[in-house]
Structure 1
Amino acid sequence: MRPVACGACGNQVLCEKFSPAHTQVQWTGDAAEACPRIRARVAAGELSARVRSCDALRESIARAVEDGALTVDGTRESEQAGGRYATVGVTDG
């Protein structure tokens, strides 16, 4: 898994691309506090565990794929960032 930082808020997640349409994302435990978009949805009453993604983060992941920092097959070597993560499978639409 590769660390990817959101270009909008800097929140870091771990990602792996298994195909162009399937991204595995491990969110940090404090994503609801670090990401203003997720924080706003939680403040509106949505459970943080139900917030599957953020448009800015999706764009950052797509950019990491385009730049070659995150490969679609997920085999590129990487160092994992420390911290607590929750795994979420995201199907790109």
Structure 2
Amino acid sequence: MQPVECATCGNQVLCEKFSMAHTSVQWTADAAVVCAEFRDRVTAGGSSARIRTCRALRDSIDLAVEKGTLEVADVRADV
């Protein structure tokens, strides 16, 4: 897993891309405290367990892939 930092809040997660469609994210801090999107939704009465992802973090992961700082381990076999 490789570290990826959210460009919006600075929260850092560990991330692995198995393909362009499959991303594994491991949070390294309490998202409801660090991430503004999680914090706002929890403050409004939501549960952080029901939040699938943060849009800003998703954008940061996509940018890391685009820049090549997060590699995609594409498991397709060349045919």
TM-score (norm: length of structure 1): 0.75
Greater C-alpha radius of gyration: 2
For residues 20-59 of structure 1, what are the structure 2 equivalents within 5 Å?
Answer: 20-59=20-59
**Higher relative contact order, chain-length normalized (CA < 8 Å, sep 6+):** 1
| Larger strand fraction of residues | 1
Aligned counterparts of 1:58 and 1:50: Cα–Cα separation in 2: 16
Question: What's the C-alpha RMSD, in Å, of the aligned pairs?
Answer: 1.2
| Larger helix fraction of residues | 2
Q: What stretches of structure 2 of length at least 5 have no aligned partner?
A: 75-79
The number of aligned residues is 74
Percent sequence identity over aligned pairs = 64
Instruction: Check if 1:63 corresponds to 2:36.
Output: no
Aligned counterparts of 1:16 and 1:44: Cα–Cα separation in 2: 31
The list of structure 1 runs, each at least 4 consecutive aligned residues, that deviate by more than 4 angstroms after superposition, is: none
Aligned counterparts of 1:55 and 1:36: Cα–Cα separation in 2: 11
Q: What stretches of structure 1 of length at least 5 have no aligned partner?
A: 75-93
What's the secondary structure of 2:18's corresponding residue? Answer: strand
1:14 Cα deviation from its structure 2 partner: 0.5
